[in-house]
């Protein structure tokens, strides 16, 4: 799992960059889930840089969370699943997973705004969506935060038991 999280942490920013570098061939797939008929061929360099910045910000945040989760897996592999490093790593991942619900909604909104700038018939369109997928992600993020608190309580109990013995 530590290797998988490392690969994910490296791949996410690289994929975000690749989408914008190879825009002409990858743009239709990247924007397919937006639900609007944008003419992405008219997107200028400034809009592409803005889109890259928006995409890269979320990818880097997720990468940071995956690297924190990796620390948890590495500690567990060393038979220290309740060390402070493991608990801190999972806690960071949990809070980032929760924050990404809102960051993702903001990213989607900004991408639609950026894409609409290049489409003359949809100039300046703004679409904000927070629906069932986002509610599901919110629930999972809150669940991760809860589990992180349980891990922290377990770590405190383990420390207390160790001091007592």
What would the pLDDT profile of 69-118 be if each residue is shown by its tens digit? 999 999 999 998 888 899 999 999 999 999 999 999 899 888 888 877 76
What pLDDT does 94 receive? 95
Asked if residue 57 has pLDDT above 90, the reply is yes
Asked if residue 146 has pLDDT above 70, the reply is yes
| Cα distances (Å, whole numbers) of residue 121 to 37, 39, 51, 125 | 10, 9, 20, 9
The pair of three-digit structure tokens given for residue 20, joined into one six-digit string: 């914008």
Task: Identify the weakest region by mean pLDDT among 125-129, 141-145, 149-153.
Answer: 125-129
Q: What is the pTM of this model?
A: 0.78
More confident residue, 30 or 86: 86
| Cα distances (Å, whole numbers) of residue 44 to 28, 55, 88, 119, 142 | 16, 16, 42, 11, 39
| Backbone CA torsion sign across 3, 65, 53, 139 | positive
């Amino acid at each position: 799992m530590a290797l998988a999280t490392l690969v994910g942490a490296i791949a996410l920013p690289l994929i975000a960059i690749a989408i914008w570098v190879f825009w002409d061939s990858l743009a239709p797939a990247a924007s397919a889930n937006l639900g609007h008929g944008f003419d992405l061929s008219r997107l200028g360099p400034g809009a592409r840089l803005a889109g890259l910045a928006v995409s890269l910000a979320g990818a880097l945040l997720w990468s940071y969370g995956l690297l924190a989760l990796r620390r948890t897996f590495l500690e567990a592999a060393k038979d220290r699943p309740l060390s402070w490093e493991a608990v801190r790593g999972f806690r960071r991942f949990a809070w980032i997973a929760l924050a990404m619900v809102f960051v993702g909604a903001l990213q989607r909104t900004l991408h639609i705004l950026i894409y609409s700038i290049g489409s003359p018939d949809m100039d300046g369109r703004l679409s904000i969506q927070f629906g069932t997928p986002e509610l599901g992600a919110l629930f999972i993020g809150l669940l991760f935060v809860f589990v992180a608190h349980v891990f922290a309580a377990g770590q405190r109990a383990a420390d207390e038991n160790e001091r007592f013995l």
